[in-house]
Structure 1
Amino acid sequence: MTGVEAGGFLRRVWFPPEPEQARRVRAYVEDCLLRWGLLDRFPVEAVALVATELFANALKHGKPDGRPLLVAIRWCGETFRVEVHDYNPQGPVLTWPADQDPEGRGLLLVDALCARWGHLPKRTGGKFVYAEIPALHEGR
């Protein structure tokens, strides 16, 4: 393992609280995977989907009130972590929507694609929601 793999990478970017920014969040995550040489190491589509779902949830439930949302991504060894910081201290709740409900499945996708996910409070108020995606292994 090289020093870079042992220490990993961290990037943070603020995004305007607008639904169309989800596309930019996805591109940002994909670009980091490319620049860090991780396209063959992590499931790119899963990582990008998780990032956009967390961003969409922060838009809907995070009380941005016009304030930008922080998206942080980290790579450390066998884990790629996505965090979205928002201004609502209440954490997300995994629910099972009825078949006819047009939304409410984002956290189910996150739960299915990640090794673990959750939320932690921020000292400055609000919280960050994180999701950890494991590396691909040969034979998977």
Structure 2
Amino acid sequence: MRDSTQRFFDATPESVALARDFTTNALAAWGLTRAADDVRLCVSELASNALVHGTVPGYGFLVRLVVDDDFVRLEVHDSRDHRPQLRHPADTDTCGRGLMIVEELSDGWGVEGREPSGKVVWSRFKAASADRGASC
């Protein structure tokens, strides 16, 4: 089985919460409640990064979710080519931990180019088969 859904969000701070809600609702509709907390936190981080670093003025970002029998793939598409880098901030730094969170919670992440411009930052999560109809 393979399902997908996507939604475009304006480049406003409120869109991060809307992206979390969109993700939570999609995962619930697919019966993937066990994966929801990690995916929800990662969409929050990636949407925040897109909002702050990835959107050209006047453009928003797209969140796409794809689920198959093994994985949920979260994608955040934005309009800038700048590729995010995993940072290792000092304990006293007040920012720079978003991709560390994504790396820790996901089963892989990366960045791909997007045509005609921009990028896709993705992460993937093992789909808990027990969520999808198992009896125990």
Common topology (TM > 0.5): yes
Structure 2, unmatched stretches of 5+, are: 131-136
After superposition, residues 38-117 of structure 1 pair within 5 angstroms as: 38-39=32-33, 42-117=34-109
Specify the alignment match of 2:133 in structure 1.
none
CA shift, 1:20, in A, is 1.8
SS of match in other structure, 1:81: strand
TM normalised by structure 1 equals 0.87
| Number of equivalences | 130
2:82 aligned with 1:119, yes or no? Answer: no
Runs of 4+ with >4 A deviation:
none
Gaps of 5+ in 1: none
Describe the SS at the equivalent of 1:98: coil
- For residues 31 and 19 of structure 1, the distance between their equivalents in structure 2, rounded to whole angstroms, comes to 20
Percent identity reads 33
TM-score of the superposition, structure 2-length normalised?
A: 0.90
Give SS of 2:92's match: coil
